[in-house]
Structure 1
Amino acid sequence: MTTKPMLITGWVLSGAFALFMLGASVAPKLMMMPVAEETMAQLGWPAGFTLMIGVLELACVLLYLIPRTSLLGAVLMMAILGGAMASQIRVGNPLFSHILFSLYLGLVMWGGLWLRNARLRALFPVERGA
């Protein structure tokens, strides 16, 4: 794949990740929607943490979308996704649909960043077949 198609694909994956996070996670938390508080309560989070987590998620998504801070945003977002995974494990939710969902999101996020960032591709090259 040449550089331009990789860049476009990377931005499409990054945009899809960002839109999903903004629509499915950040917006409900920042708008204090009942579904966000209920979901957090089901995961064992005390009331009052929803807004703070939404702000942190928003900050990480914005950092991820800015090319100069994208690596920092990805690392910080992975920390949030790891915490989400730990919360799912703690309450005993199903493996493939709930627990590993953070991993799926992380793979899309890192895949998009890898495709749009030449320095990251140089750091983690993909070996071609012999």
Structure 2
Amino acid sequence: MEATFVNPTVKSRTNKTVLAGKIISAICILFLLFDSIMKVIKESHSIEGSAQLGWPVDQVQSIGIALLISTILYIIPRTAMLGAILITGYLGGAIAVMVRAGQPLYFALVFGILVWAGLYLRDEKIRALIPFKK
């Protein structure tokens, strides 16, 4: 007869980590969906804000569609990493536009970090791929 001991604190910590990742990801997803849908439906504030940053008004809807597709990929667990990569590219472009327009770039930078932090915390495969401690 063999006894096996399970360390409950490791399981509890993992569950809390995944929950934190899901919460961070949900906040990011809600914002990204809001932003992309406002661009897709050509909401006036979104169009005006994009035009002030130098985007051609006729391209704002295309940008919104690209962001919407990237966000949907981020939501689906099997394609979440691809979605995060595409969102990172989108936010990189946003940072470039903000720098060119002389606007603060911190929001896009922090948001990009949060997108990856949420994915890192909720996906065990990503944590195994990028271990911060051994």
Alignment TM-score, normalising by the size of structure 2 = 0.87
| Structure 2 unmatched ranges of 5 or more | 1-9
Is 2:117 the partner of 1:107? no
Shift of 1:18: 0.3
Superposed structure 1 runs of 4+ greater than 6 Å apart: none
In the TM superposition, residue 27 of structure 1 has moved relative to its aligned partner by 2.2
1:30 aligns with 2:36: no
Asked if 1:7 is matched to 2:18, the reply is yes
SS at match of 1:127: coil
Matching of residue 43 in structure 1 with residue 23 in structure 2: no
Percent of aligned positions with the same letter in both sequences?
A: 37
Q: Equivalent residue for 1:123?
A: 129
2:4 maps to: none
User: SS of the counterpart of 1:49?
Assistant: helix
Q: Quick one: distance in 1 between partners of 2:57 and 2:16?
A: 45
Please point out which of 71, 76, 83 is paired with 2:86. Answer: 76
2-structure distance, mates of 1:32, 1:55: 11
Question: 2-side partners of 1:78 and 1:72: how far apart?
Answer: 10
Counterpart for residue 19 of structure 1? 30
Q: 1:47 Cα shift?
A: 1.8
Q: What is the CA-CA distance between 1:36 and the residue it aligns to? A: 1.2
Contiguous gaps of at least 5 residues in structure 1: none
What count of residue pairs does the alignment treat as equivalent? 123
